[in-house]
Amino acid sequence: MNWQSHPQAPTADTHVCSLDAIPDGGCIEVSFGDADALRLVVLRDGGEAWAYVNVCPHFSLPLNSRPGEFLVTDDRHLMCAYHCALFRFHDGLCVDGPAKDRSLEAVPVTIVDGVVRIAGDR
Ligand code: FES
């Protein structure tokens, strides 16, 4: 199931968060819905942001083991908290670890007036 099939999937132009809400070089989690929420991890590098479904392609676990706590490296990689798979911010590709060469599921976003929004034509 891709993110667009999720019952809580946001439509195009949905407000995700303000860019300033994401620490530069870090990330936050944003959820859509309550029970069975669609959980996204939204990462930032300067004026750019990317969003991925918060599910590791290794064992389909969340990338964080504690709410709101993610492991990031100075060179803009996100590390899965469970078995240390390392994903690039800019394309979600795993470059090291047990999910090597697999990718996080990207959710296209755009930044308009300092606000991260869902992109596309949903
Ligand atoms: S669940 Fe993420 S590396 Fe194993």
Q: Which amino acid is at 71?
A: L
Q: Measured from the CA of 60, which atom of ligand 1 is nearest?
A: 1
- Domain 3-118, CATH 2.102.10.10 — does that match? yes
Supply the pTM of this predicted model: 0.96
Query: Binning pLDDT at 50, 70 and 90, where does residue 121 land?
Result: low
Q: What does the mean pLDDT of the chain come to?
A: 96
The amino acid present at 15, given as its one-letter code, is H
Whose C-alpha lies nearest to ligand 1, atom 4?
Answer: 83
pLDDT digits (tens, 9 = 90+) for 14-36: 999 999 999 999 999 999 998 88
Q: Which atom number of ligand 1 is nearest to the Cα of residue 84?
A: 3
Each residue of 44-57: b (16+ CB within 10 Å) or e? beeeebbbbbbbbb
pLDDT tens digit string along 57-70? 999 999 999 999 99
Domain ranges of the chain: 3-118
Instruction: Compute, in angstroms, the gap from residue 69 CA to the centroid of ligand 1.
Output: 15
**Residue 35 confidence (pLDDT):** 85
Cα of 113 to ligand 1 centre, how many Å?
35
